[in-house]
Amino acid sequence: MLKIINFTPQNSTNMTRTKIKDILKGTQINQTVNVKGWVRNFRNNSFIALNDGSSINNLQAVVDFEKTNDSILKRITPGACISVTGTLVESQGKGQSVEIKVSDIEIYGDSESDVLKPNAYPLQPKAHSLEYLREIAHLRFRTNTFGAVFRVRHTLAYAIHKFFNDKGFVYLHTPIITSSDAEGAGEMFRVTTLDPKNPPLSEANEVDFKQDFFGKATNLTVSGQLEGELGAMAFSDVYTFGPTFRAENSNTTRHLAEFWMIEPEMAFYDLKDNMALAEEMLKYVITYALENNKEDIEFLSQRLLDEEKNKPQADRSELSLLEKLNFCLGNEFAKITYTEAIDILRESNHNKKKKFQYIIDGWGADLQSEHERYLVEKHFKKPVILTDYPKDIKSFYMRQNEDGKTVAAMDILFPGIGEIIGGSQREERLEKLENRMNEMHIPTHDLQWYLDTRRFGTCPHAGFGLGFERLVLFVTGMTNIRDVIAFPRTPNNCEF
RNA sequence: UCCCUCUUAGCUCAGCUGGUUAGAGCACAUGACUGUUAAUCAUGGGGUCCCUGGUUCGAGCCCAGGAGAGGGAGCCA
């Protein structure tokens, strides 16, 4: 017999603790309840704003200061962790519907509020800049903004798993450490146990990685795609969702050295199927977040409005965050080929008036950020899927089109963020794949395991990579990718 | 990696043409008030003006170098 035990933490008075999110539903009115959390603010020597992270909303706990010891009152400071027990009553004040009339307070952990003392709690009951909060990333979860961001991040991660699970995809854990250096997705971080001061040398006087831990040079993965394709050739539909590493010296609001990526890979999908799945997935997870984190997203939407009040009119968004998300859900993504995009850009007044830094003239060059932004934010004003890029600016594994010039690639561009998804139908024909690898000087002997998929029961298949943090940026309306991952890793920064 | 901007109180920022004792709001401390919602009112404390060097009678302000941060570009997700 399977027994399910409902575990709830108890406190010393043997009261069952209730989470603030549930308390605020008001169903326990006139009952004695216990709540534990961190003090956000203590007003008027009476009103504690308490938050336990379960909701953006605080619970107001009302202390009768005339009947409470001064030594206790002085310890109710921002950041302190307390347990309060009392009766849940309808609030006499306007800001909340229910509140706790406190009968008992237990202080778990004090928090120094005097800003002049060296051990003072760095979060004051006032607004802080995102840059400052980034320096205290270990405490920023306790703010409204970051509380909301990381609850939404969680929901999006869960929704992604739910979406693929409901469609019968297998979640495949691809390796973090790889020996493959042929993926070509970017600079890699080396993984080694060799002594950097005195590495073993080969006869050619180079570092001898045969003596390294794995007997060969290894790196942190830049993509799980190639391994994902192996899974798709057995399970039909797989996806990966894990950390990915790029040692690029990128200093932008859209890049991290360590980020999380979702990479589905589907047998029997062509490019159109691939695009349809990507669009369906994005709309599903955004809907899921709107349904399950409504208050957080409303808060973030308001936060963005307040922030943009300080900007000149021209720099403000036309739509609020909520409007932008709903607009994205209510409209088909624009779908055009690279060639059509070049035509639109070339014929645009923007190009004719030479407002682009890079003037569009011929066919074949990669689009610059300014061109992508023009297409998404000015021309279509909604997400755009660009397909069929010139083969020379794309990866070796993308399926070659009949025209001999383009490949079956797709990039999904989002307003304000740029590329959020990159994908393609894969080249399933062994000979064409090998020829392309030779043309691009990709060593085929290192990737025999990959080419085996094309030798043994190859089939049309496709997949894409979604940058998880870029999705979180879009849904939360945050503008710097360092603010949507708990502990960002970027060039020259690996704190915490 | 390249370009631009910034660095002044715990935080967010002002600081005039280089001029004598460094400014505000918030936060904090003390007191008053006691149904507050960024509480309010009064009083008070708090400064390596990022660092190093230079110009000058005199530098927070000008110059050079360095460090850190932000924005943009490239690379990409």
Confidence at residue A181, expressed as pLDDT on a 0 to 100 scale: 65
Confidence at residue A11, expressed as pLDDT on a 0 to 100 scale: 54
C1' of nucleotide B70: residue with nearest CA: A131
Mean pLDDT, rounded, for A396-406 = 95
A26 class by beta-carbon count within 10 Å (0-12 exposed, 13-18 middle, 19+ buried): exposed
| Nucleotides, chain B, CB distance < 7 Å | 1-2, 10-13, 26-29, 33-39, 45-46, 68-77
Q: Which nucleotide is nearest to A369 (CA to C1')?
A: B73
Chain centroid, CA A293 distance in Å: 15
Coil/strand/helix, residue A482: helix
Integer Cα distance of A443 and A27 in angstroms = 66
In whole angstroms, how far apart are CA A312 and each of A308, A309, A315? 8, 8, 6
Sign of CA dihedral A267, A273, A274, A276: negative
Q: Which helix (H) or strand (E) holds A298?
A: helix A294-308
Checking if the pLDDT of A80 tops 70, the result is: yes
Confidence at residue A324, expressed as pLDDT on a 0 to 100 scale: 92
Give the CA A1 to C1' B56 distance in Å. 89
DSSP A184-217: -SS---EE--S-TTS--B-TTSSB-GGGSTTSS-
CB A51 within 8 A of CB A36: no
Coil/strand/helix, residue A274: helix
Checking if the pLDDT of A387 tops 90, the result is: yes
**φ, ψ for residue A493, nearest 5 deg:** -145, 110
CB-facing half-sphere around the CA of A398: CA atoms within 13 A: 27
Closest CA to A400 of A439, A369, A365: A439
Mean pLDDT, rounded, for A449-477 = 96
DSSP secondary structure letter of residue A356: S
Q: Which nucleotide is nearest to A495 (CA to C1')?
A: B68
Integer Cα distance of A124 and A141 in angstroms = 14
Integer Cα distance of A283 and A286 in angstroms = 5
Chain centroid, CA A251 distance in Å: 18
Tokens describing residue A230: 């192996």
Mean pLDDT, rounded, for A289-312 = 90
Verify if strand B has an atom below 7 Å from the CB of A2: no
Checking if the pLDDT of A194 tops 90, the result is: yes
Give the CA A310 to C1' B15 distance in Å. 21
Give the CA A251 to C1' B63 distance in Å. 29
pLDDT category of residue A179 using cuts at 50, 70 and 90: confident
Give the CA A82 to C1' B41 distance in Å. 30
Confidence at residue A183, expressed as pLDDT on a 0 to 100 scale: 60
pLDDT category of residue A111 using cuts at 50, 70 and 90: very high
Give the CA A315 to C1' B2 distance in Å. 25
Helices and strands: H and E segment counts in chain A: 14, 16
Confidence at residue A13, expressed as pLDDT on a 0 to 100 scale: 58
- State the first-to-last Cα distance of chain A, in angstroms, to the nearest integer: 44
pLDDT greater at residue A3 or residue A31: A31
Give the CA A493 to C1' B67 distance in Å. 14
CB A30 within 8 A of CB A88: yes
Checking if the pLDDT of A182 tops 70, the result is: no
Closest CA to A287 of A262, A322, A255, A313: A322
- Helices assigned H by DSSP within A393-447: 430-439
Residues 303-362 of A with CB under 7 A from strand B: none
Q: Which helix (H) or strand (E) holds A33?
A: strand A32-43
Give chain A's radius of gyration (CA, Å).
27
Percent of chain A with pLDDT over 70: 96
In whole angstroms, how far apart are CA A114 and each of A78, A87, A119? 10, 32, 9
Checking if the pLDDT of A40 tops 60, the result is: yes
Tokens describing residue A158: 């869960």
pLDDT category of residue A6 using cuts at 50, 70 and 90: low
pLDDT category of residue A118 using cuts at 50, 70 and 90: confident
CB A89 within 8 A of CB A96: no
Integer Cα distance of A407 and A425 in angstroms = 8
CB A182 within 8 A of CB A442: yes
Give the CA A131 to C1' B70 distance in Å. 8
DSSP secondary structure letter of residue A141: G
Integer Cα distance of A41 and A59 in angstroms = 11
Closest CA to A373 of A384, A364, A361: A384
Give the CA A186 to C1' B28 distance in Å. 49
Checking if the pLDDT of A253 tops 70, the result is: yes
Confidence at residue A479, expressed as pLDDT on a 0 to 100 scale: 93
Q: Which nucleotide is nearest to A222 (CA to C1')?
A: B77
Confidence at residue A358, expressed as pLDDT on a 0 to 100 scale: 87
Confidence at residue A461, expressed as pLDDT on a 0 to 100 scale: 97
Lowest mean pLDDT among A208-222, A288-302, A312-326: A312-326
Mean pLDDT, rounded, for A305-332 = 85
Confidence at residue A336, expressed as pLDDT on a 0 to 100 scale: 95
CB A261 within 8 A of CB A239: no
CB A318 within 8 A of CB A330: no
Sheet holding A218-220: strands in order across?
A: A177-178, A218-220, A190-191
CB A435 within 8 A of CB A211: no
Residues 404-463 of A with CB under 7 A from strand B: 418-422
A157 class by beta-carbon count within 10 Å (0-12 exposed, 13-18 middle, 19+ buried): middle
A404 class by beta-carbon count within 10 Å (0-12 exposed, 13-18 middle, 19+ buried): exposed
A402 class by beta-carbon count within 10 Å (0-12 exposed, 13-18 middle, 19+ buried): exposed
Q: Which nucleotide is nearest to A64 (CA to C1')?
A: B34
pTM of the model: 0.94
Confidence at residue A184, expressed as pLDDT on a 0 to 100 scale: 62
CB A135 within 8 A of CB A202: no
Checking if the pLDDT of A398 tops 60, the result is: yes
